[in-house]
Amino acid sequence: MAGKREKPEDIVLKLRQVEVLQGQGLSVGDAVRQVGITQQSYYRWRRQYGGMSRDQLKRLKELETENQRLRRAVSDLTLDKMILSEAARGNF
């Protein structure tokens, strides 16, 4: 059964909460349990989003969106080029 997918903003907030709880002397396991996530999720999120601020996260999302748009444009142009080269050879 699939769990709910957290938004990146919520992930950064939860990572900060765990850091605060660890600063208060709790172990990683206890802090993670108190926030309501698993240790596996915590370490995966920390690897992916660790040390990011909200501004950096917003910029990352913008870059991912732009990258996706550019990939789509390149694939469309590549397909057009292949179609034109086939037509130029006379294999239509």
Structure-derived torsion over alpha carbons of residues 24, 29, 34, 35, reported in degrees to the nearest 10: 100
User: pLDDT-based confidence at 92, cuts 50/70/90?
Assistant: low
Name the amino acid, one letter, at 13: L
Q: In the numeric block, which tokens belong to residue 89?
A: 């050879």
Q: What is the pTM of this model?
A: 0.63
Q: Where are the domains of the chain?
A: 1-52, 54-92
pLDDT digits (tens, 9 = 90+) for 28-56: 999 999 999 999 999 999 998 887 887 88
Q: List the structure tokens of 6.
A: 């957290």
For domain 1-52, the question of CATH label 1.10.760 is answered with no
